[in-house]
Structure 1
């Protein structure tokens, strides 16, 4: 049996200490949200700092859907996120095919512009976006939110898919051209099946960004029934102006977070492989 030196043992101990600290830092807020959501409101102030609640109730989850259209808000978030992902993937696939497989003047500059747009602060374009949405009569609408969300989802999907398309062997495209396929047929029938992992990855990450977005949803909606869940949770109010419904807020946060956790756990391998696509070659 191989013996470890004291320095190696110290390194292993430090490694696992760091792992435990990171896991605690990441998982503890979610545990505290679940614990608070299961605590009766009357006991919350008394046992706020307790590690475990004295009693457990699911009434907070029921109350989330009472008094406010939280079910409608969930549906709005789902429609907006799915719609944003579909529009982003369609436009990004066409753009990535052109940027990854064709040479034209200004291509490098265009890629840098796309990268710059992806890191542009939302607050800088909020005023112009608000005026545009009002002018298009899309205020308080899911379509207005979809179009506004494309500002941060589309550049990201274009950049990732372009890196992936660039690494697809040219022989596949050349074989399709020899068979008489048009560029659109080549993209749909030949490249799309190969781009599956990248499409899943970029689509899932775009979905998470659209699902969690708050600033645009707050600015471009005023009707409670048109809001998405982040804004709806932020507008929860208690029975009086002096009461904050912490238990209901935590219950709503858990409801909103669980689907994302499930999606990430299912597609975690595809996320890693999709993000690292094109990282070896330039």
Structure 2
């Protein structure tokens, strides 16, 4: 089989065409460069407070009080971390973990059932229920403190993990219902009907078809509920006592204990870093599901 060679001029034209196409593909628009630089700058601004917190947690009080900022903790130590990890920390950690796990579990359970009912069924009072869920979000939390305190006092649930969990569930469930409602509405009911035609019961069709598709939405809603419960401060301040503190209340103790002397900002930053570690670990575990959940929740149909 013979191969016909192209003329030199034809080869040159082909090379020019390839080079031109390559330049056209790699050409960078000035607007893209601007937005990329802007994104990097905003990212640095967002990350810097976290970096400064971790950096300051490894510095001594004299270094932190110096007029010259120290951006890299050369010669730093973990002494501040060792100083703040006390029995009160473990007690506050256990309380926060207990309350958060209880609240997140029941928030997802109630919100899941409510979102299924709202999206899949038509019943009397459905629109009123949806409107009520929306209006509850407009109530200021501070306006409920007295009523919540009296209710927990009458139930004997003051300074109690169960009482605080009930208040967190009541506060987080409405918005979680709205989040999951969008995910459920985005899953066609025809998928369940097709599975039922193939011989599955309604329950089996839901468990095998709809529930796996809802997993990203459940993760995204769980992340929201987790953050709300883990970082909540004001309700815990009203309901809990000094012996039953959550981590945000424990963290406030470093400032209160320093009212008669200079605040040890190294310990404050170390304690803040410790409080943030569980959140970071949780995000690393669920970040894949959370991203797909946020994207799928934005698309309906």
Tell me the TM-score normalised to structure 1 length. 0.87
> What's the RMSD between the two structures over aligned residues?
2.7
Unaligned runs of 5+ in 1: none
Who is 1:159 aligned against? 178
State the 1:186 CA deviation.
5.7
* Deviation, structure 1 residue 219: 0.9
Find the aligned partners of 2:138 and 2:90 in 1 and give their Cα distance.
33
Write out per-residue CA displacement over residues 59-117 of structure 1, whole angstroms, 9 at most, x where no aligned residue. 11011123x60111111111111110111111111111111100123322322321232
Q: Which residue of 2 aligns with 1:227?
A: 245
Structure 2: any 5+ residue segments left out of the alignment? 1-21
Aligned to 1:249: 268
Larger radius of gyration: 2
CA distance in 2 between counterparts of 1:86 and 1:95 reads 14
After superposition, the C-alpha distances for 1:211-239 in whole angstroms (9 at most, x for unaligned) are 01111111111123x11101110121456
**TM-score, length-normalised on structure 2?**
0.82
Q: How far apart are 1:148 and its partner, in Å? A: 0.6
Equivalent residue number for residue 21 of structure 1: 41
Residue 121 in 1 paired to residue 145 in 2?
no
Alignment coverage as a number of residue pairs: 278
2:52 to 22, 32, 37: 32
Seen in structure 2, the aligned counterparts of structure 1 residues 27 and 110 have a Cα distance that, compared at 3 Å, is: same
Question: Is contact 2:103–2:168 with CA below 8 Å preserved after alignment?
Answer: yes
Superposed displacement of residue 158, structure 1: 1.1
Q: For residues 172-194 of structure 1, what are the alpha-carbon distances to aligned partners after superposition, in whole Å with 9 as ceiling and x for unaligned?
A: 433449857466x6655653333
Task: Identify the residue that residue 220 of structure 2 maps to in structure 1.
Answer: 201
**8 Å CA contact 2:185, 2:300 repeated in 1:** no
Deviation at 1:130, TM superposition (A): 1.3
Alignment check: 8 A CA contact 2:176 2:221 kept: yes
Contact kept in structure 1, 2:182 and 2:300, CA below 8 Å? no
